[in-house]
Each structure stands twice: as C-alpha cells, then as structure tokens.
Chains A and B, each alone.
Chain A
C-alpha cells in the first residue's frame, strides 16, 4: 500500500506558485521521497527526490519538514503544461524495487 497521503485535487492560476503537499508520517530514516507526475495520456515522469534536505532542480523545489513526516512540492511559476496528476512516493525498502503510487493530486493550472 502507498505510504503517502495527498489531496485529491488542487487548482492554481497560471504564473503563480503551485504548492503540493504530501504526508508520509511512517517514513523510515533511510527512505527517500520521490515525486513523479503524469500528464494526460502519457507515462509518469520523474520530477525530484529528497531525503531530508530541501532540493531544487530545473523543474521544481522539494521542501521536507525537519521530522520528515511531510513534504511540499513547489512549482514556482506554474504553466498550463503543468496540469497533471502529481504522485508523492516513498520508496519501499522491503527488498522490492517497485514504486508504489497512490492516487496522487490532480493539479489543474487555470489561465
């Protein structure tokens, strides 16, 4: 089962920051948080990952709380092309290599 909880849907105005929360209260000390997104009719695409420090790349920023029980993905200037389902994933460390997706957050960026 997915180890994360995300809101079902969110809206954001074009050009504004989109902040997508994720709760992962049972995360263990060596588990990473990964974010993928899935644009309609495409396969999921990797965005960013982190362990305990905040991370930033050309797509987004990831803010992880000090207790690591939650995180926020930030798209600093959302565009219409960022409309997608965003998945927050805590990597299963039980010997399996799989990604366990939940239902994700459907982000709609409005003009």
Chain B
C-alpha cells in the first residue's frame, strides 16, 4: 500500500525566500509528526498533530516555522524568510492512532516519509 509521501523531494531556496513542504500521510492516520534532520545528526522533533489539532509545537525553532493540517490529512510545513541554518532534511511521519508507541497494550509505530532535503543558499 501507499506509504507516507513528501514533496518536493529536493528544494533549493535563496536566503530570505519562503518555502512550503508538503506531507501526505497514510490514509486514515490520525497522528502526524514533523522532524528536522541536520547533516550527520538524528531527526529532531518539530511538531505533532492529532487530526487537525496541533497538540505539540515545542520543537519549532522559531516563529518563522509554521505547520498546519487543516482537514486532518495533508500537512504543510512552511518556513518564512529562510536562513542557511534551516538547511536540513525535513521528515514527516504518521501513525494510525493518537500518538505512537504502546497504548492499551497495542503498539503503533511511526511510519516515515522519505523526507524533503532543503538547501538554503
């Protein structure tokens, strides 16, 4: 079946430009996560949605970063006035139930997309 898809796969932006990154989660998945992965580092959490509600945005590095999931399916991560330090791979993940991990004795994993590599020049 179809997995999590992200577009574009690669994005080059000039410093100061705005970018929008799209995530299509697995159909019917309740939870959606965004992560940022700098070169040579593990992914770092940005934000979490349960359906259309953004329940955790503690990882967003600045107010230039904004995420939305208006209808509880597709999500967009927007970065305004991009800077060189925003260069990274942006990963999206989805899960069929609220959150992920073990809940009520049942395990729900996070399914990751291939990521969008953003390069800010």
Kindly state whether residue B120 has any CB partner on chain A within 8 Å.
no
Give the distance in Å from the alpha carbon of A100 to the alpha carbon of B110 in the complex. Answer: 12
Number of contact residues on A: which range applies? 20 to 34
> Tally of A-B residue pairs with Cβ under 8 A?
65
Chain A interface SS verdict (over half): loop
Q: Contacts A44-B43, A87-B42, A103-B41; is A97 near B56 (CB within 8 Å)?
A: yes
| Contact status B91-A97, CB under 8 Å | no
B101 touches A91 (CB 8 A): yes
By a beta-carbon cutoff of 8 Å, the part of chain B in contact with chain A is 4, 31, 33, 35, 40-45, 48, 55-56, 58-59, 91, 93, 98-102, 107, 109-115
Interface pairs (18), CB distance under 8 Å: A32-B102, A42-B112, A43-B115, A44-B110, A96-B45, A96-B48, A97-B31, A97-B99, A98-B45, A99-B33, A99-B43, A100-B45, A101-B42, A101-B43, A102-B42, A103-B41, A103-B42, A104-B42
